[in-house]
């Protein structure tokens, strides 16, 4: 035990050495650790603020708007202008015809001496206006006799004389009524025939406007199934006046479409069903077969009230032969003369009636939708001759 102090010294050295090794390592570890973030506490909210927050309504996030598919716009239905007086309002469109017939004839009749040369000019004027040979001969013979009896000829007398002769030539006693009234609870059926190119489909649309303007309800049958463009065109015209169209597949049987159209018209209770027929004219036999079949099938529902033949006035005498074929194929009851404003040959009205024995019931005087007018003899003659004060002839 004498060396205890030696053991104490060794122990003390060991303790001091250990301390010198451990303390620097602990200090280094503390410096490498991230410092703690000290967050300052927010001041407590005032009592007023707390009350406002408690009373504030809970605002919910707005819901996404519901997506609604837009409906296609409804077609605008037009109201056609009344047909009464249309021919009078459109008299300016007959200016070219007026120059050919009216003023030309008045000037010739007012000549100081009505010799053979003047009468030949009068005859030539009528022929140039497409009056036709036979009607021209009748008119000239009557004018010769009446001017001889009258002796003196004032402007008023000449105008009255010519108006009377043109009126007689136009045969005012012909029935020009459009038979479109329903009978026995069934709609009146109207067939529209004519060659392609005469404006037949457009005229069908305009006729529909005439009927609607006169208070009729109309349904159209697109039986010209060999021309898809004609079907679409007819549908466009019909929708403009709120009329329905019955159509079939392309190149479908026209008679089948016509039958379905009339049946639909009966079920819908409309006043008039109008059928737009094909206008092909390869040969008379083929045309007769097709139109004959359409008529027979339609008449299973009831008789056809009206068969209108559409003619282009600008074709003149050349178009009358084609027109004659249609009158032989089907019982044409009236003529629609289109493009009358585009020709100086207003006398074609006389020629058509004399050649076909069928009255002109409607005339087209322009490209506007309402430029189709019911034909009235006195209004037409007045339009051709102009007012009495416009007749610049000396008496």
Q: Is 341 annotated as a binding residue?
A: yes
> What would the DSSP string read from start to end of 164-225?
HHHHHHT-TTS--------BTTBPEEEEEE--TTS-HHHHHHHHHHHHHHTT--EEEEE--T
Q: Is 276 annotated as a binding residue?
A: yes
Q: Is 339 annotated as a binding residue?
A: yes
Q: Is 200 annotated as a binding residue?
A: yes
CB 142 within 8 Å of CB 165: yes
Rounded to whole angstroms, how far apart are CA atoms 350 and 174?
12
Q: Is 197 annotated as a binding residue?
A: yes
CB 248 within 8 Å of CB 242: no
> Can you read off the two tokens belonging to residue 248?
């079939």
Q: Is 354 annotated as a binding residue?
A: no
Q: Is 137 annotated as a binding residue?
A: no
Q: Is 131 annotated as a binding residue?
A: no
CA distance readout (Å), 343 to 162, 212, 297, 347:
21, 28, 38, 10
Q: Is 213 annotated as a binding residue?
A: no
Q: Is 346 annotated as a binding residue?
A: no
Rounded to whole angstroms, how far apart are CA atoms 298 and 127?
41
Q: Is 278 annotated as a binding residue?
A: yes
Those residues whose C-beta lies under 8 Å from the C-beta of residue 230, and which sit 6 or more positions away, are 201, 222, 224, 276
Q: In the beta sheet, which residues pair with residue 306?
A: 190
Residue 75 DSSP SS3: coil
Phi, psi of 374, rounded to the nearest 5 degrees? -60, 135
Rounded to whole angstroms, how far apart are CA atoms 81 and 79?
6
Q: In the beta sheet, which residues pair with residue 218?
A: 272
Phi, psi of 284, rounded to the nearest 5 degrees? -65, -40
Residue ranges for the binding site? 194-201, 276-280, 338-341
Residue ranges for the binding site for GTP? 194-201, 276-280, 338-341
């Amino acid at each position: 035990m004498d060396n205890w102090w030696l053991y104490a010294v060794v122990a003390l050295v060991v303790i001091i050495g250990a301390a010198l090794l451990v303390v620097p390592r602990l200090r280094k570890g503390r410096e490498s650790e991230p410092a703690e973030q000290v967050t300052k506490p927010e001041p407590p909210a005032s009592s007023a603020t707390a009350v406002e927050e408690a009373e504030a309504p809970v605002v919910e996030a707005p819901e996404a708007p519901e997506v609604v598919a837009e409906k296609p716009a409804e077609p605008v239905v037009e109201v056609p202008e009344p047909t009464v007086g249309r021919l009078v309002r459109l008299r300016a469109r007959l200016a070219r015809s007026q120059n050919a017939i009216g003023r030309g004839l008045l000037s010739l009749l007012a000549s100081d001496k009505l010799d053979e040369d003047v009468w030949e000019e009068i005859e030539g004027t009528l022929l140039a206006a497409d009056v036709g040979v036979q009607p021209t001969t009748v008119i000239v013979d009557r004018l010769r006799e009446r001017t001889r009896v009258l002796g003196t000829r004032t402007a008023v007398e000449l105008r009255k004389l010519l108006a009377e002769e043109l009126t007689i030539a136009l045969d005012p006693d012909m029935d020009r009524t459009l038979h479109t009234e329903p009978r026995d609870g069934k709609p009146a059926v109207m067939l529209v025939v004519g060659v392609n190119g005469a404006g037949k489909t457009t005229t069908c649309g305009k006729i529909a406007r005439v009927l609607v303007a006169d208070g009729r309800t109309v349904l159209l049958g697109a039986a010209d199934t060999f021309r898809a463009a004609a079907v679409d065109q007819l549908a466009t015209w019909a929708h403009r006046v709120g009329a329905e169209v019955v159509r079939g597949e392309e190149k479908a049987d026209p008679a089948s479409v016509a039958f379905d159209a009339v049946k639909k018209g009966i079920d819908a209770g409309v006043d008039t069903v109008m059928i737009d027929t094909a206008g092909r004219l390869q040969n008379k036999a083929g045309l007769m077969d097709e139109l004959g079949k359409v008529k027979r099938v339609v008449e299973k529902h009831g008789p056809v009230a009206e068969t209108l033949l559409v003619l282009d006035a600008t074709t003149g005498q050349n178009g009358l032969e084609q027109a004659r074929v249609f009158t032989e194929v089907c019982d044409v009851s009236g003529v629609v003369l289109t493009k009358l404003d585009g020709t100086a040959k207003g006398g074609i009205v006389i020629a058509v009636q004399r050649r076909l024995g069928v009255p002109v019931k409607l005339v087209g005087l322009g490209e506007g939708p309402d430029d189709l007018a019911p034909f009235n003899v006195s209004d037409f003659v007045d339009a051709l001759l102009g007012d009495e004060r416009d007749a610049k002839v000396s008496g």
